[in-house]
Amino acid sequence: MKIFDLSGRTCLVTGAAGGIGGVLALGLAEAGADVVLSDRPGSERLATLAEEIRGTGRRATVREQDLSRPEELLGFVDAVWAEVGRVDVLVNCAGVARLSRFNEVDPDDWHTTLTTNLTAPFLLSRRTAEHMIHRGVQGRIVMLSSKNGIVGEPGLVAYNASKAGLEQLTQSLALELGEHGITVNAIAPGVIETGIDADFELERSAFEAYYREHIPLRHRFGSPRELVGALLLLASDAGSYITGQSVVVDGGVLASQLPRMQFMRPYVNALEARDAEQHGADGARGAGEERS
């Protein structure tokens, strides 16, 4: 649909080498946008992704940047604007997570997590918004938050804190940037099949089986592609009156207070029960007619 069309717009995506970031960048390109791809230096995935995007007929620019170096981020945004002319959509997708007990969290890990997941999005959004205001661009800023920013999860105290902060950052920036026509929103995924938790030390098969039981939507994890629709809504004219919001994409996990479904009697379809009852009545009537 035309209201979801991003033709003529340029999007900057951080964490573009990741499982979610790369898919989102490609989704933006498929909607007509040119894309600036950013991730840590040395990522081979960026070059491959750039070629995929160019294959859609859109322009792809690669700009490497380590988001754990906040002193470089304002200059990074300035360089992107100087190179591509303007940025209409900023997607703060980069993030890190490490599983550990609260009393085993290394201070350096805490610092890196908060810097990458919260400080960097703030600085990137701040500078991008300044450029947008200066140029009169009524742009879009989209944060990749998490359901962990809304409810906690054991073993991820630093990650939870960073994502909760990102939720409040989204609302705060939306309030200040609304007068300039800039919207700020977040996407809060549930468990998405990516590699961010690949090195988590836990009983993976048992954990995944347990978690799937608690996902109402067919007991399955999500795929990165299933986040593209939410992003296109928030990045395009379709979402022009949405700001300060967090779109949860988690298969219904946060909608469930208690895992009660597995203890209830099986679902019965009223229409099928009616048809079966009607079929039984017709059969009995036919048998009675034969006997008469």
DSSP state of 265: P
Helix (H) or strand (E) holding 144: strand 140-144
Q: Cβ neighbours of residue 53 under 8 Å, at least 6 residues apart?
A: 25, 26, 29, 35, 37, 59, 60
E strand or H helix at 34, and its extent? strand 34-38
Distance of CA 59 to the CA centre of its chain: 23
In angstroms, the Cα distances linking 227 to 22, 36, 86, 193, 264 are 12, 19, 25, 12, 31
Instruction: Answer whether 261's CB lies under 8 Å from 60's CB.
Output: no
Which of these is catalytic: 159, 210, 241, 267? 159
| 159 included as an active-site residue | yes
Asked if residues 148 and 106 have their Cβ atoms less than 8 Å apart, the reply is no
SS3 assignment, position 184: strand
Catalytic residue ranges = 159
